[in-house]
């Protein structure tokens, strides 16, 4: 699940929704990234911007904002968290937040796309030396679960987007599904994946399995890697053989 091939393009621009544009603003040594999709009321068609720092001091401040923003969004929800809350927890001056982010939504979208990037990166690293789709699905699923176990706040943040704006939630999973479909297609050609099923539908089935199998692990008390391997193997058994018996007798 979430298994992307070694050719997946994971450059720095993929951390912004739908591969948004960037440009340099040298006076402040910041990199500007813009998303054309949402404003702070959840409406569309306004460019929401964040500026990535290019100094070590700026990087520390930027990461502090990210860290506390993520925790506050996960604990209180997007709508119950204010920019002032984030500023207070980050222990920064009021204007410092706006050096890096246009708005609370800009910070939220940055976090959402950072998760997307990290999940893809974890999957790609786990599957880069593999050849079969079966192996890629198994190791991709395990990599996703290991990442979710390491950072369980990712679930809360991603699902919170449904309440921030349904279009953000839709875009998150639609873009994942499109990428998934592209990476499944070559294995139809090799004969490993059946040619009589809808790959778009299959991509959403696999994402759904990954999400809820991941939750199964998170619900365990102190799950170890052997527990994750067991869950992944059981999942792959269903993918390989189906859930229905074919021997009627």
Does residue 117 sit in the same domain as residue 228? yes
CATH value at residue 102: 1.10.10.60
Does residue 205 sit in the same domain as residue 89? no
Does residue 35 sit in the same domain as residue 126? no
CB within 8 A of 1, min separation 6: which ones? 137, 140, 141, 144, 206, 207, 209, 210, 213
Does residue 103 sit in the same domain as residue 203? no
Does residue 89 sit in the same domain as residue 168? no
What DSSP line would sit under 214-226, residue for residue? Answer: HHHHHTSSS--HH
Does residue 212 sit in the same domain as residue 124? yes
- Helix 56-76 and helix 83-90: axis angle, to 10°? 130
- Helix 104-127 and helix 166-189: axis angle, to 10°? 20
Q: Which domain holds residue 46?
A: 12-108
Instruction: Answer yes or no: is 147 within a domain.
Output: yes
Does residue 169 sit in the same domain as residue 98? no
Report how many domains make up the chain: 2
Does residue 90 sit in the same domain as residue 27? yes
pLDDT, one tens digit for every residue, the chain (249 residues):
566 544 444 333 333 333 233 333 333 334 444 454 444 554 443 456 888 898 999 999 999 999 999 999 999 999 999 999 999 999 999 899 999 999 999 999 999 989 989 998 999 999 999 999 999 999 999 999 999 999 999 888 999 999 999 999 999 999 999 999 999 999 999 999 999 999 999 999 999 999 999 999 999 988 999 999 999 999 999 999 999 988 765
Residue after which a domain boundary falls, among 89, 108, 127: 108
So what's the pLDDT on residue 8? 45
Instruction: Answer yes or no: is 1 within a domain.
Output: no
CATH value at residue 189: 1.10.357.10
Does residue 213 sit in the same domain as residue 93? no
Residue after which a domain boundary falls, among 108, 131, 162: 108
């Amino acid at each position: 699940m979430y298994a992307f091939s070694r050719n997946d393009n994971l450059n720095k621009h993929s951390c912004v929704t739908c591969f948004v544009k960037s440009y340099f603003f040298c006076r402040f040594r910041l990199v500007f990234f813009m998303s054309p999709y949402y404003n702070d009321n959840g409406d569309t068609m306004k460019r929401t911007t964040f500026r990535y720092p290019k100094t070590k001091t700026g990087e520390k401040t930027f990461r502090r904002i990210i860290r506390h923003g993520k925790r506050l969004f996960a604990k209180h929800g997007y709508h119950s968290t204010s920019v002032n809350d984030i500023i207070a927890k980050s222990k920064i001056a009021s204007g410092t937040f706006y050096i890096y982010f246009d708005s609370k939504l800009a910070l939220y979208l940055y976090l959402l796309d950072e998760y997307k990037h990290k999940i893809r990166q974890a999957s790609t690293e786990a599957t880069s030396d593999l050849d079969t789709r079966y192996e890629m699905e198994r190791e991709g699923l395990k990599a996703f679960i290991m990442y979710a176990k390491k950072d369980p706040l990712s679930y809360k943040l991603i699902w919170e987007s449904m309440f921030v704006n349904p279009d953000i939630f839709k875009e998150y999973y639609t873009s994942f599904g499109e990428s998934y479909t592209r990476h499944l297609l070559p294995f139809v050609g090799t004969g490993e994946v059946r040619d009589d099923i809808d790959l778009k539908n299959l991509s959403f089935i696999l994402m759904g399995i990954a999400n809820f199998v991941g939750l199964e692990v998170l619900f365990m008390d102190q799950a170890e890697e052997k527990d994750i391997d067991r869950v992944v193997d059981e999942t792959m058994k269903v993918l390989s053989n189906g859930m229905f018996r074919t021997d009627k007798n």
